[in-house]
Amino acid sequence: MSEQNVHPGMNLGYDGGEEEAEVKIFGFWAFVMSDLVTFGLVFAIFGTMAGSTAGGPGPEEVTDLTSVAIQTVLLLGSSFGFSWASLSMKYHPKSRWRTLGWLAVAATSALGFLVLEVVDFHHWTTIGAVPQRSGYLSALWALVGLHGLHVAGGLIWMAAMTGQILVFGLTDDIKSRVTRMGLYWHFLDVVWVGIFSMVFLAGVA
Amino acid sequence: MNALFGRLSWSELKLFETFTHGWSIDTLVAAGAAWAVVLGAVAVAGWLTWAGLWGRFWRDWLTSVDHKKIGIMYIVLGFVMMARGVAEGLVMRSHQATALGGGVLSEEHWAELFSTHGTIMIFFVAMPFITGFMNYLIPLQIGARDMAFPMLNQISLGLTATGAALTMISLVVGVFETGGWTAYPPFTGAAFDPGPGPDYWVWAIVLSGFGSMFSGINFAVTIYKMRAPGMTYMRMPVFTWTALCTSILLTFALPPLTVAGLMQALDRYLEFNFFTNDQGGNMMNYANLFWMFGHPEVYILVLPAYGIFSELTSTFAAKKLYGYESLVLATMSIAVISFAVWLHHFFTMGNSATVNVAFGIATMVIAVPTGVKVYVWMATLWGGRIRFTTPMYYMTGFFILFVVGGLSGIILANPAINWQVHNTQFIVAHFHNVLLPGLIFGIFAGIHIWFPKAFGFRLDERAGKITALLWIVGFCLTFLPLYVVGLMGYPRRSSAFDDPAFLPYMIVCLIGACMLAAAFTGLFVTLWISIRKRDELAVPMGDPWDGRTLEWATPAPPPHWNFAVIPHISERDAFAREKAEGRPYVLPERYVDIHLPPNTPAGMIVFVTTTAFGFAATWWIWWLAILAILVLVGWMIVHSFLDHPEVVIPAVEVRRATNVWIEAIELAGEGVTRDDEVSPKNRGYASTDMLVAS
Amino acid sequence: MSLKQKLLLDSKNAEEAAERRFYTIGLVLSIVLTVASFASVMTGLLPHGWALPALALLALAQIVVHLRIFLHIDLTRQKREDLQLLLFTILLLGMMAFGTLWIMADLEARMM
């Protein structure tokens, strides 16, 4: 059993706690799906409002493709760092610092993403592209902001988990939490793929 | 506006409205309602203190993660809120009976009443009722000890209670929203209504919505992963099937509501332009989002009631359910199609005929599986040995009235007709006609069936039957006349009318509303009589109705751990088969220690912090809102660092409890026959009336 | 170190290497697809009107890569429930999102 994956996300080599982990991870997967519907609907609302600029700044003015490209690389890097953390947890369960090191890479990278996003938001306010200006900007801020809030929440979670790893070590319970966090983190990537291609790139195409 | 109290001021307190706003029936009703809330809360708190029950209340109920107790608390919450909903209904009917050219209430007050009535009845009566039933029954029916996520279950209850608390607080402090339970902007937007009404609404709905979504996930995962060995999908009890479909709907239909509510909040608090009139806002998006939730919501509510009616017919006809497979299939099709019909709530929004027709056809299609169900129940009753108990009274009322309500729905599915009766009392008649007989009758029938399981004694049959008849007749008098005035052109939600022809109908409605109030009281009278006669009505052995599913194979009330050993299931209705073959109640060969999740204050912490947040956000008390969030997040982080040892029930304790129960059954000798079902001879050990083949 | 332990360690190392390779492939694929997406807009090489469909296809491909490699969704039996849940979600979301766009576009057309 422990050699097989019994749920989405990687199996981290449990020590008897597979079944409990399986239920929890499936439950979290259902939550992610519910969240996916939330994002999908905000996307749909953005779609209906894409033209409602009401004479204010449009996609041409707000899109800084260089910044978006760097953000994409940072987020992908964070996801990759997280995968590496999971792998060291699975194959080197004795050295928790190795796992924590990769988690730090993932967190730093995501933090860079957030900083750049905030810089973008700040830039938008300086050119008058505030959400109060038009329906299009409201939807843009809500969609990008919702994703950003998810990333920020993930960072808090990662910080808490770092503490838990230090306190408890790499127990089955912690492994299950890391797997769930991984689902969340990679899910946010999928959403970001939608945002950079359908909001930013499609906006200026 | 100040930093400490936001925009809250003494003038918002409604308790003294008769003095501050002048003496009138209108202010008397408002102040009276506020006092009822305050005095009710004080009375409950005072009684708990007087009886010295706070400790037990906290340990045994508020912090318990036992799904059975959480289920009961949901249903109690539903009844508390229903008392307010029914009272509001009565006040509204009184107003309408005097509404020819005026009415006793002010227009604002009237608008607030129909908005709170709708919000409360849907979100804080119907939802807690069905969630309570699913909580109580799912683990017992699938042979599990608890939900997949017991603590999350408690948190869901806390969030639901938050929404209910915010609507109750709005009765004392400030006003609630006045745009109906749907709260369409821009009427509820900041420009037209600066608050606090719509803010109360947004936070009550969004916060309790999270609770419902978590419930949905929890129930679905429980049913997917926690079934007893051998219980394949097609061996699950029908109620569990309907609960599964409802859970899936909860998981996927709540996000649109959350999105609509939070966008509304962004519009109101930060001047975003989602649903505003200008700056590229589009209010139609709101209607669209709201009903993407709103229509599946109808099925979220009614599917578990279908499940109850299915269990009911086969139990009280002593037959297996006719057409289990078609019922399951019908339930699943309803779950999917219910996501494809939402536009029928706004045919008049101005879409082209193509769009309207597509959704009209989808609406007619969804009536087919519902029709299948009605035939399944009829065929189950056909040729059965029917016992006409209180649940069957509700079932009969449901059968006739629900079909009428369903047919009026088919009429409304036609866009051309819908244009004629849109926004009239015809609609009010229609949805009360489906929700009251469909959902509420199902819940009350269910309470009569499972109350003995939960508390160990039956409810009095005579009082129950009188109450059921009052509900049925009261419903007909209150709501059927609305079809007529609706067709005559009486718009819904209008505080006055000027056509004298409506008046006689409105007086009939008022008489009906009084009967419904009596019927609601009848429920408590039934409870009171039954408590007094509880020794006579006791059914400790747990199977008073010759039941078919696993929950009846436990004592009443069931032990905390539900099952001494997890049963192995080899077929559908396994308990019925065991009884028919004369081999129920076998002592397990060996017992093991049972591990159960420990008590936790999580639900209460979530309840207190989110209520504080909702109240603070409504009144712009920013420090409190921030504090509440910090406390909640901080507590979650601290909680994740603590160790939570499970409660262990030793095997000897399980053996002792099981032996007591089995010995009582053996001492009873002969079980009770169905002829003596409602006599004191019924101690919950059934001499089965089922044939082996059934 | 006994031979058995050594063999076990070897197989474990081989497994680790395989998983690392798997993730690296995922990273390379997603970088390639991301670059292609940005290039299709930034270079202006694509004829007008082709960029949107190209973007949609590239995004879809990248999402599939992420699901397969980072979220470990595949067709094996243990994960069928997760796959079914994902497909069901996409069905419902498709109905809701497509319905929204259709309804609002239709309305927009009639308001013009």
Domain ranges of chain B: 1-52, 53-600+644-676
Q: To the nearest whole angstrom, how far is the Cα of A49 from the nearest Cα of chain B?
A: 8
Please tell me which residue, B372 or C81, carries the higher pLDDT value: B372
Which of A19, A38, A138 best probes binding to B when mutated, by most B CB atoms within 10 angstroms? A138
Which of A34, A143, A149, A177 best probes binding to B when mutated, by most B CB atoms within 10 angstroms? A34
Average pLDDT over residues B495-521: 96
For B447-498, what is each residue's pLDDT tens digit? 999 999 999 999 999 999 999 999 999 999 999 999 999 999 999 999 999 9
Q: Indicate if the pLDDT at residue C49 is higher than 70.
A: yes
Average pLDDT over residues A8-17: 60
- Cα-Cα-Cα-Cα torsion B407, B412, B414, B417, nearest 10 degrees, comes to 120
Nearest-Cα residue of chain A relative to residue B227: A23
B202 to A41, B169, B246, B342: CA distances (angstroms): 18, 14, 23, 21
Size of interface A-C (CB pairs under 8 A): 122
pLDDT band for B393, please (50, 70, 90 cuts): very high
d(C-alpha C82, C-alpha A27), whole Å: 10
- Cα-Cα-Cα-Cα torsion B330, B331, B335, B340, nearest 10 degrees, comes to 30
Q: Indicate if the pLDDT at residue A25 is higher than 50.
A: yes
Average pLDDT over residues A132-149: 96
Q: Which of B294-303, B446-455, B663-672 has the lowest mean pLDDT?
A: B663-672
CB contact under 8 A, C85 and A33: yes
Q: Indicate if the pLDDT at residue A40 is higher than 80.
A: yes
What percent of chain B has a predicted confidence (pLDDT) above 70? 99
**In this structure, what token pair is assigned to residue A129?**
């592209």
Nearest-Cα residue of chain B relative to residue C90: B252
Nearest-Cα residue of chain B relative to residue C102: B355
CB contact under 8 A, C106 and B352: yes
CA angle at residue B336 from B335 to B342, to 5 degrees?
95
B538: DSSP letter? B
Which residue of A23, A26, A42 is in closest CB contact with B259?
A42
Q: Which of B17-21, B343-347, B356-360 has the lowest mean pLDDT?
A: B17-21
Neighbours of chain A (3+ CB pairs under 8 A): B, C
Contact A65, A204 (CB under 8 A): yes
Instruction: Provide the CA A156 distance to its chain's centre, in angstroms.
Output: 12
Which of B213, B222, B292, B343 best probes binding to C when mutated, by most C CB atoms within 10 angstroms? B292
Taking the Cβ of residue C64 and every Cβ of chain B, the question of whether any pair is shorter than 8 Å is answered with no
Nearest-Cα residue of chain C relative to residue A37: C93
**Mean pLDDT score across all residues of chain A:** 90
- DSSP-assigned letters across all residues of B180-194: TTTT-TTTTSTTT--
Q: Indicate if the pLDDT at residue B359 is higher than 60.
A: yes
For B34-77, what is each residue's pLDDT tens digit? 999 999 999 999 999 999 999 999 999 999 999 999 999 999 99
* Sequence-separated (6 or more) residues with CB below 8 Å from residue B480: B429, B433
Chain C positions touching A79 (Cβ under 8 A) are: 70
- CA-based nearest residue to B599, from B16, B63, B8: B63
Taking the Cβ of residue B351 and every Cβ of chain C, the question of whether any pair is shorter than 8 Å is answered with yes
Taking the Cβ of residue C34 and every Cβ of chain B, the question of whether any pair is shorter than 8 Å is answered with no
pLDDT at A122: 97
Which residue of B248, B340, B343 is in closest CB contact with C103?
B343
pLDDT band for A2, please (50, 70, 90 cuts): very low
Nearest-Cα residue of chain C relative to residue A203: C52
Taking the Cβ of residue C100 and every Cβ of chain B, the question of whether any pair is shorter than 8 Å is answered with yes
Contact C93, A36 (CB under 8 A): yes
pLDDT at A3: 39
pLDDT band for A15, please (50, 70, 90 cuts): low
pLDDT band for B518, please (50, 70, 90 cuts): very high
pLDDT at A18: 72
Chain A positions touching C19 (Cβ under 8 A) are: 10, 87, 90
Q: Which of A163-177, B106-120, B372-386, C2-16 has the lowest mean pLDDT?
A: C2-16
Angle at which helix B425-434 crosses helix B461-487, to 10 degrees, equals: 150
CB contact under 8 A, B285 and A48: yes
Q: To the nearest whole angstrom, how far is the Cα of A48 from the nearest Cα of chain B?
A: 8
Contact B635, B627 (CB under 8 A): no
Taking the Cβ of residue A142 and every Cβ of chain B, the question of whether any pair is shorter than 8 Å is answered with yes
pLDDT at B1: 66
pLDDT band for C89, please (50, 70, 90 cuts): very high
Chain A positions touching C27 (Cβ under 8 A) are: 76, 80
CB contact under 8 A, A186 and C82: no
Q: To the nearest whole angstrom, how far is the Cα of C75 from the nearest Cα of chain A?
A: 11
pLDDT at B688: 83
Taking the Cβ of residue B498 and every Cβ of chain A, the question of whether any pair is shorter than 8 Å is answered with no
d(C-alpha B150, C-alpha B138), whole Å: 13
- Render the burial of B262-296: b for 16+ CB within 10 Å, e for the rest: bbbbbbbeebbbbbbeebbbbbbbbbbbbbbbbbb
pLDDT band for B530, please (50, 70, 90 cuts): very high
Q: Indicate if the pLDDT at residue A6 is higher than 50.
A: no
pLDDT at B231: 93
pLDDT at C69: 84
Q: Indicate if the pLDDT at residue B95 is higher than 90.
A: yes
pLDDT band for B576, please (50, 70, 90 cuts): confident
Domains and CATH numbers, chain A: 31-204 (1.20.120.80)
d(C-alpha B196, C-alpha B265), whole Å: 12
Strand, helix or coil for residue B37: helix
Which of A10, A86, A197 best probes binding to C when mutated, by most C CB atoms within 10 angstroms? A197
CB contact under 8 A, A160 and B637: yes
d(C-alpha C67, C-alpha B564), whole Å: 42
Taking the Cβ of residue B271 and every Cβ of chain A, the question of whether any pair is shorter than 8 Å is answered with yes
Taking the Cβ of residue B342 and every Cβ of chain C, the question of whether any pair is shorter than 8 Å is answered with yes
Average pLDDT over residues B594-608: 95
Chain C positions touching A33 (Cβ under 8 A) are: 85-86, 89
CB contact under 8 A, C91 and B336: yes
Residue numbers of A between 2 and 41 with CB closer than 8 Å to B = 22-24, 26-27, 30-31, 33-35, 37-38, 41
pLDDT at C70: 83
Contact A205, C55 (CB under 8 A): yes
pLDDT at B590: 87
**Mean pLDDT score across all residues of chain B:** 94
Write phi, then psi, for B538 (nearest 5 degrees): -65, 140
Average pLDDT over residues A13-42: 87
pLDDT at C78: 66
Domain coordinates in residue numbering, chain C? 1-72, 75-112
Q: Indicate if the pLDDT at residue B268 is higher than 60.
A: yes
Please tell me which residue, C4 or C50, carries the higher pLDDT value: C50
- Give me Rg for the CA atoms of chain A: 19
Nearest-Cα residue of chain C relative to residue A6: C78
- CA-based nearest residue to B682, from B477, B389, B458: B458
Q: Indicate if the pLDDT at residue B692 is higher than 60.
A: no
pLDDT band for C1, please (50, 70, 90 cuts): low
Nearest-Cα residue of chain B relative to residue A38: B255
Helices vs. strands in chain B: H and E counts, helices first: 22, 2
Task: For residue B672, list its beta bridge partners.
Answer: B686
Q: Please confirm whether the linkage preceding B601 is cis (ω < 30° from 0).
A: no
* Residue B45: burial class (beta carbons within 10 Å; 0-12, 13-18, 19+): exposed
Which of C89, C96, C110 best probes binding to B when mutated, by most B CB atoms within 10 angstroms? C96
Residue B4 neighbours by CB distance under 10 Å: 8
* Residue B1: burial class (beta carbons within 10 Å; 0-12, 13-18, 19+): exposed
d(C-alpha B677, C-alpha B131), whole Å: 29
Nearest-Cα residue of chain B relative to residue A159: B637
Q: Indicate if the pLDDT at residue B693 is higher than 70.
A: no
Which of B152, B156, B217 best probes binding to A when mutated, by most A CB atoms within 10 angstroms? B217
Q: To the nearest whole angstrom, how far is the Cα of B50 from the nearest Cα of chain A?
A: 43
Which residue of C103, C109, C110 is in closest CB contact with B288?
C103
pLDDT at C104: 95
Task: For residue B647, list its beta bridge partners.
Answer: B596
Average pLDDT over residues C38-55: 85
Average pLDDT over residues B211-238: 95
For A49-94, what is each residue's pLDDT tens digit? 999 999 999 999 999 999 999 999 999 999 999 999 988 888 888 8
B498 to B98, B425, B482, B509: CA distances (angstroms): 11, 15, 16, 17
Chain B positions touching C92 (Cβ under 8 A) are: 252, 336, 339
Taking the Cβ of residue B494 and every Cβ of chain C, the question of whether any pair is shorter than 8 Å is answered with no
Q: Indicate if the pLDDT at residue B22 is higher than 90.
A: no
Instruction: Please name the CATH architecture into which domain B53-600+644-676 falls.
Output: Up-down Bundle (1.20)
